């Protein structure tokens, strides 16, 4: 038997190529993300541990989570070579910060390159970060000074997240301070599938204060403490022991184990502090570190509270509500515990009125979708505003399952349905909580319009079908009918309750034209006059019209 040696070699090369991991393309959202996988070595959650603790792994986040890829800029060789600085910029770079760093910035090219990068190359990104920072920095500064920490540490989130509470790294670090799940839990933050307090700038700041104090107590040096914040105290401790060094910059020269990102972390932070402390001199809009935003009011929400409905009752969209309540991962409160919700002070009365009402449970409903060429889990989830995890769970698929063209998917959606969702239960539930009595001339459409809801919600809330006929005196449950605004609107509507008009049909009249003239709908006319959908009207006919 003879062998084609070239063919064998080619086959071996192909096998090896298939086994080797492809180099990941580095896009803008990947550049410079903190190595949270190495941070706090030995403390981060594995995927199995995540499931056991109730924490969803990073890939479980979907479009509904409003999680942003980390936008911290790149490190090391990706930075342009440092160009000569202006005399003013060099003077700024040479100023000392509020704690000893042990670095001569004039001799450190990395600091100069980062300084130039944030002030010139990506100046627009820095401007965006500063706008976000204004919202949180005054509070962070107040707390750091109260706890005796060096003031310049307040700028650390520039290097971590750009002050974005929803920033999510590829390895699962999250929030302004970029905590990994296990570290967050160790420092008193709740992280589960309902709430992620790493995204709460105030609570996570308290955790950051405690963690930074602990790191400084461990190493007695802020440069080493900052390196440990990035790489984990275990990693830095082992590297110091192995090299026999005692300071950060000696460690960087001696250690072959430390990642390049960690070696560049302190120079990056130092450059950002120099920028933040000299914004006006560098042509940026200055920060007002004394300006405190008016704090929202914290109210208690019962288990299972519909947070989206709460936001809507306050006249807020979900995005605005989430800015005040960034910890919530879902549009409803946890089913087994109460939570605090933040609302603007001028809306407290409305919120309290909503929160007094009985909790209406949500029931998952499903739509059907047929997979088209080019579809992806993420694309479909974005289109239907449902997380990838929920979409795959609804279709009993794993996260690696490949979509097939023509495949039928169940799209989970949430609708307000009382009780267990069955027709009988809905009717029983509605009869106990009925808050509206059907009157002459009422239709589902007119009642829905009166209470600023939609007919389908009325049908679901009362276990009715679209073909159901309302009867005078029938009791209905109208969601949101207990709110103060709705009561006022109802009272006003009752006060001007239309008088009955007997209208005589004229030549050329149509149901649509008459309805338009009196500000009602054709379906109202049909209902009030017991007319069939295809019924005809003739000149001389008398119609009941409530106006």
Give the catalytic positions in this structure. Answer: 160
- What Rg value do the Cα atoms of the chain yield, rounded? 31
CA dihedral 38, 186, 329, 307 (to 10 degrees): -160
Give the separation between CA 178 and CA 163, rounded to whole angstroms. 10
Give the separation between CA 366 and CA 375, rounded to whole angstroms. 19
> Residues with Cβ < 8 Å from 84, sequence gap 6 or more?
none
Contact 82, 113 (CB under 8 A): yes
Give the separation between CA 377 and CA 403, rounded to whole angstroms. 8
Give the separation between CA 168 and CA 188, rounded to whole angstroms. 20
Nearest to 267 by CA among 139, 508, 106: 106
- DSSP calls for 387-429: -HHHHHHHTT--TTPPP-TT-EEEEEEEEE--TTS-HHHHHHH
Instruction: Name the pairing type of β-strands 362-370 and 408-416.
Output: antiparallel
Please give the DSSP secondary-structure letter assigned to residue 196.
Answer: B
Distances, alpha carbon 47 to alpha carbons 60, 66, 185, 327, in Å? 11, 21, 16, 21
Could you give the angle at the alpha carbon of 536 between the alpha carbons of 533 and 541, nearest 5°?
Answer: 125
Q: How many C-beta atoms surround the C-beta of residue 224 within 10 A?
A: 25
Q: At what angle do helices 222-231 and 260-276 cross, to 10 degrees?
A: 120
Residues paired with 58 in a beta bridge: none
Give kind and range of the element (H or E) at residue 320: helix 318-324
> Residues with Cβ < 8 Å from 477, sequence gap 6 or more?
418, 429, 430, 431, 433, 434, 435, 436, 461, 462
Three-class DSSP labels, 419-433 = CCCCHHHHHHHHHHC
- Half-sphere exposure (CA, 13 Å, Cβ side) for 72? 32
CA dihedral 505, 511, 513, 515 (to 10 degrees): 100
Give kind and range of the element (H or E) at residue 370: strand 362-370
> Residues with Cβ < 8 Å from 536, sequence gap 6 or more?
none
Give the separation between CA 349 and CA 299, rounded to whole angstroms. 11
């Amino acid at each position: 038997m003879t062998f084609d040696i070239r063919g064998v070699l080619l086959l071996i090369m192909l096998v090896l190529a298939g086994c080797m991991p492809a180099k990941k393309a580095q896009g803008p959202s990947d550049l410079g993300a903190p190595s949270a996988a190495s941070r706090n070595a030995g403390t981060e959650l594995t995927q199995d541990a995540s499931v056991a603790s109730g924490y969803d792994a990073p890939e479980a986040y979907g479009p509904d989570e409003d999680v942003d890829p980390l936008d911290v800029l790149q490190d090391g060789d990706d930075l342009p070579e440092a160009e000569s600085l202006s005399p003013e910029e060099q003077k700024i770079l040479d100023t000392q910060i509020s704690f000893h760093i042990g670095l001569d910035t004039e001799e450190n090219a990395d600091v100069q390159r980062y300084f130039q990068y944030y002030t010139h190359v990506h100046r627009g990104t820095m401007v965006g970060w500063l706008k976000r920072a204004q919202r949180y920095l005054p509070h962070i500064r107040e707390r750091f000074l109260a706890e005796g920490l060096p003031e310049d540490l307040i700028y650390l989130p520039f290097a971590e997240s750009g002050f974005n509470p929803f920033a999510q790294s590829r390895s699962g670090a999250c929030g302004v301070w970029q905590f990994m799940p296990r570290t967050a839990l160790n420092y008193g933050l709740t992280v589960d599938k309902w709430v992620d307090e790493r995204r709460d700038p105030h609570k996570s700041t308290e955790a950051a204060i405690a963690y930074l104090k602990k790191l400084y107590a461990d190493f007695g040096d802020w440069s080493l403490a900052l390196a440990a914040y990035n790489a984990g105290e275990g990693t830095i401790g082992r590297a110091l022991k192995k090299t026999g060094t005692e300071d950060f910059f000696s460690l960087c020269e001696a250690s072959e184990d430390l990642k390049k990102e960690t070696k560049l972390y302190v120079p990056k932070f130092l450059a950002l502090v120099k920028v933040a402390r000299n914004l006006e001199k560098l042509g940026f809009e200055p920060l007002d570190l004394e300006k405190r935003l008016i704090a929202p009011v914290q109210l208690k929400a019962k288990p299972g509270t519909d947070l989206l409905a709460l936001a809507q009752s306050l006249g807020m969209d979900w995005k605005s509500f989430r800015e005040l309540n960034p910890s919530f991962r879902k549009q409803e409160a946890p089913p087994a515990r109460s939570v605090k919700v933040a609302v603007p002070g001028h809306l407290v009365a409305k919120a309290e009125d909503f929160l007094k009402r009985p909790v209406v449970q949500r029931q998952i409903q499903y739509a059907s979708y047929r997979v088209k060429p080019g579809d992806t889990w993420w694309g479909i989830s974005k289109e239907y505003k449902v997380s990838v995890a929920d979409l795959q769970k609804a279709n009993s698929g794993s996260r690696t399952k490949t979509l097939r063209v023509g495949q039928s998917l169940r799209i989970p959606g949430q609708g307000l349905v009382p009780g267990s969702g069955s027709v009988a239960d809905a009717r029983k539930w509605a009869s106990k909580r009925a808050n509206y009595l059907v009157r002459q001339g009422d239709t589902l459409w007119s009642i829905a319009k009166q209470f600023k809801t939609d007919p389908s919600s009325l049908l679901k809330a009362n276990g009715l079908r679209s073909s159901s006929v309302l009867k005078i005196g029938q009791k209905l449950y109208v969601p949101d009918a207990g709110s103060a605004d709705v009561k006022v609107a109802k009272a006003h509507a009752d006060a001007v309750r239309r008088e009955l008009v007997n209208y005589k049909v004229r030549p050329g009249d149509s149901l649509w034209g008459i309805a338009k003239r009196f500000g009602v709908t054709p379906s109202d006319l049909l209902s009030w006059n017991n007319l069939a959908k295809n019924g005809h009207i003739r000149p001389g006919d008398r119609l009941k019209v409530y106006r």
